DNA sequence: TAAAGGATAATA
DNA sequence: ATTATCCTTTAT
């Protein structure tokens, strides 16, 4: 298992979003490693992407997205659920990849189909906002054996307010995987 | 299908 | 200080 490094995250957001499929999200909490395989992602491209939080410019909330790549951007949505993104591309771009669904691998309790649920199952909350994903207790790793993965491309979920950007094919998931949040 | 829920950003 | 809005989930 090899930890993903800066060079992985600094690349084009679309590339990172697709390459994250099949990788392992690891969070050490209370001495146990919770591990989930990423099976669904969405790309948020930056200031010009009206569906992205960063389209409002740099604010207290979005400054994480505009920071260096390879860190977690965790925010609260609808007053009750956490969502986790990974910042991509060089600092200042405002781009990120949303993790939408995981397949349980180790020490996972509860449902991981959907961004709010997976954060709950992985014990991810806003205290991890801005956390370095190249750290020892919270990171993403490439699996030892990379089986072939068929990637399906779809429009993003819940972004109808974003005009034309709502139709863009910026959601990716592993074809046929049972843990994808929506087909 | 609709209500829940709280932070966030814009407005004042 | 007040208000509209939200990258969702759960329960009816």
CATH code of the domain covering residue A150: 3.10.300.10
Question: In A 133-162, which Cβ lie closer than 7 Å to strand B?
Answer: none
Query: Could you tell me the two tokens for A147?
Result: 């089986």
Q: Per the domain annotation, does A183 fall within a domain?
A: no
* Contact flag, residue A107 CB and nucleic strand C, below 7 A: no
* Contact flag, residue A78 CB and nucleic strand B, below 7 A: yes
Q: Is the pLDDT of residue A148 over 90?
A: no
Domain span holding position A105: 2-174
Give, in order, the Cα–Cα distances in Å from A73 to each of A8, A13, A90, A148: 17, 14, 15, 29
Q: Per the domain annotation, does A31 fall within a domain?
A: yes
Rounded Cα distance, A162 and A149, in Å: 30
Q: Per the domain annotation, does A182 fall within a domain?
A: no
Q: Per the domain annotation, does A179 fall within a domain?
A: no
Q: Per the domain annotation, does A135 fall within a domain?
A: yes
Cβ neighbours of A76 (radius 10 Å):
15
CA nearest to nucleotide B8 C1': residue = A61
A11-62: per-residue pLDDT in tens?
999 999 999 999 999 999 999 999 999 999 999 999 999 999 999 999 999 9
Q: Per the domain annotation, does A61 fall within a domain?
A: yes
Is the Cα dihedral A161, A163, A167, A168 positive or negative? Answer: negative
Q: How many domains does chain A have?
A: 1
Q: Per the domain annotation, does A63 fall within a domain?
A: yes
* Contact flag, residue A182 CB and nucleic strand B, below 7 A: no
* Contact flag, residue A56 CB and nucleic strand B, below 7 A: yes
Q: Per the domain annotation, does A13 fall within a domain?
A: yes
pTM attached to this predicted model: 0.95
A84-97: per-residue pLDDT in tens?
999 999 999 999 99
């Amino acid at each position: 298992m090899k930890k993903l490094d800066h060079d992985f995250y600094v690349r084009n957001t679309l590339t990172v979003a697709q390459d994250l499929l099949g990788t392992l999200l690891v969070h050490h909490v209370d001495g146990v490693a919770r591990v989930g395989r990423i099976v669904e992602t969405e790309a948020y491209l930056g200031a010009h992407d009206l569906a992205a939080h960063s389209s409002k410019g740099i604010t207290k909330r979005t400054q994480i997205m505009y920071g260096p790549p390879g860190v977690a951007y965790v925010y609260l949505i609808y007053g009750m659920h956490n969502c986790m993104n990974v910042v991509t591309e060089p600092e200042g771009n405002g781009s990120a990849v949303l993790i939408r669904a995981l397949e349980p691998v180790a020490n996972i309790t509860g449902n991981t189909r959907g961004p709010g649920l997976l954060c709950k199952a992985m014990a991810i909350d806003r205290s991890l906002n801005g956390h370095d994903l190249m750290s020892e207790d919270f990171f993403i790793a490439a699996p030892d054996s990379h089986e072939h993965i068929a990637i399906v491309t779809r429009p993003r979920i819940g972004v109808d307010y974003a005009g034309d950007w709502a139709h863009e094919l910026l959601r990716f998931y592993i074809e046929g995987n049972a843990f994808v949040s929506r087909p």
